[in-house]
Amino acid sequence: MRFTKMLCILAVLAWASFHLLAPPVQAQGSAAPDTSGVKIDGEYGPFLPTDISEHGYKIDRVIDIVHVFMAVLFVGWGAFFVYCLVRFRQKPGHQADPHEVKAKVSKWSEIGVAVFEAVLLIGFSMPLWAEVRAEIPADDDPNALHVKVLGEQFAWNFRYAGPDGIFGRSAAKFVKDGTNPMGLDRSDPHGDDDIVSGEFHIPTGKPIVVQLTSKDVIHSFSVPVLRIKQDTIPGMRIPISFTAKKSGVGTYEVACAQLCGNNHYSMRALMYVQSQNDFDAWLIEAGKPPEEFDEDDLD
């Protein structure tokens, strides 16, 4: 019996240390493994990954505060739990006291929890959410870069307005796999210079507005390093906005976070965060008509 009790206590302690102390496996540093032929920048490990967005630190701060709060509650509560298990175990001659304990502590701790949650919600989460969700530059805001993102099974398509800064028309009937994945109407003069790419290129230090929609099923546009995630829903156009930090130049990954079919896990795109100059150069390069393909050159 005594052995069982010891085991029980040990298990609880082991559990607590497992969860609350520093995990043994540390972030693997910047040497993220080369899994696709392209080196991915950033530090990844068992905590939140690198943050290259200007709003990300606020989200991280809320997450940190909540976790400290959870840890405090759990440790306090767990200490009382373990104390009770040891102190009030059944022994000969010992009987339980059926009188209701007047537990002021519990009442106050419950009120404390409620107040703290209210503070978290009203003080941190709501303003931040409002900032992330509502403060999105308008469609004609020249200071922001607008990108249309179209999800499909199982790829992301990115569309830039080109030199004229205006997106051309597009419709489902124009969609052609391979050559016109976003269904651009090439007869529209505004659409002539639109750039469609399978890579996500963005400049640093400039507000980016991403307008998300989907061709077929629900996807979710997830970029962990930018602290953004937004479902893309067919039939809806949902804008989100963010700014990449100047120091965030590098290559990262875009993933799909909503089950979208067999190869959901292959729905990965590369994101190139570039200085404004590099980005402009890329735009010019990508805006050129596609190169002629001559298979004899390959032999």
Partner 1 sequence: MSSDHDHEMGFLRKYVFSTDHKVIGIWYALTGLFFLFFGFCLMMIMRWQLAFPLEKVPVIGGLLGSTLANDGVLLPEGYNALGAMHGTIMIFLGVVPIVVGGFGNYVMPLQIGAPDMAFPKLNMFSYWAYFIGGVVMLASFFVPGGPANSGWTSYPPLSNIATTGQTWWLFGMVALITSSLLGSINFIVTIVQLRAEGLTMFRLPFFVWAQFVTAFLLLLAFPPLEAASILQLMDRLAGSSFFMPEGLVVSGEQSAYTGGGNPILWQHLFWFLAHPEVYVLILPGLGMVAEVLANNTRKPLWGYRTMVYALVFLGFMSFIVWAHHMFITGMGVTISAFFATTTMIISVPSVVILTAMIITLYRASIRFTVPMLFVLGFLPMFAIGGLTGLPLGLPAADIPLHDTYYVIAHFHYVVAPGTIFAIFAGLYYWFPKVTGRMMNSGLGKIHFFGSFIGMNIVFGPMFFVGLAGVSRRLFDQTGYAWGDAVQNWTIASSYGAWFLGLAQIPFIINFFMSIRGGAKASDNPWDATTLEWHAPSPPPHGNFATVPVVYRGPYDYSTPGAAADFSPQHAAGTES
Partner 2 sequence: MRCSKNTITVIATGFILAIGTTAAMAEKTTVRGKVIFKGNAAKFKRTKLDTSKDPKCKMSKKSIGTYDVILNKKTDPITIRNVLVSIKSGLADRVFPTPNTPVTLTQYGCEYDPHVFGIMEGQELKILNGDETNHNIHFLPKNNDQYNFSQPKKDLEKGKTITLDAEAPFRVKCDVHPWMGCHIGVFKHPFYDVTDKLGKFEISGMGAGSYTLELWHETFGTMTADFTVAKGQTTDLDIEFEVK
Q: Which is nearer to partner 2, 199 or 231 (CB)?
A: 199
Instruction: Restricting to residues 181-240, name those near partner 1 by CB under 8 A.
Output: 183, 215-218, 220, 222, 224, 227-231, 233-236, 238
Instruction: Restricting to residues 77-106, name those near partner 1 by CB under 8 A.
Output: 77-78, 80-81, 84-85, 88-91, 94-98, 100-101, 103, 106
Q: Give the SS3 label for residue 224.
A: helix
Q: Write down how long the chain is.
A: 299
Q: Which is nearer to partner 2, 196 or 225 (CB)?
A: 196
CA distance 291 to 299: 17
DSSP label at residue 257: -
Q: Which is nearer to partner 2, 142 or 290 (CB)?
A: 290
Q: Does 20 bind partner 1 (CB under 8 A)?
A: no
Q: How far is the CB of 215 from partner 1 (least distance, A)?
A: 5
Rule CB under 8 A: choose which of 155, 208, 226, 283 binds partner 2. 155
Piece of 114-122, 196-204, 273-281, 285-293 that binds partner 1 (CB under 8 A): 114-122
Q: Which does 23 bind (CB under 5 to 8 A by kind): partner 2, partner 1, none?
A: partner 1
CA distance 63 to 116: 14
Helix (H) or strand (E) holding 229, with range, is: strand 228-232
CA distance 67 to 250: 30
CA distance 214 to 258: 12
Instruction: Restricting to residues 240-299, name those near partner 1 by CB under 8 A.
Output: 253, 255-266, 268
Chain mean position to CA 238: 16
Instruction: Restricting to residues 191-210, name those near partner 2 by CB under 8 A.
Output: 196-199
CA distance 195 to 192: 9
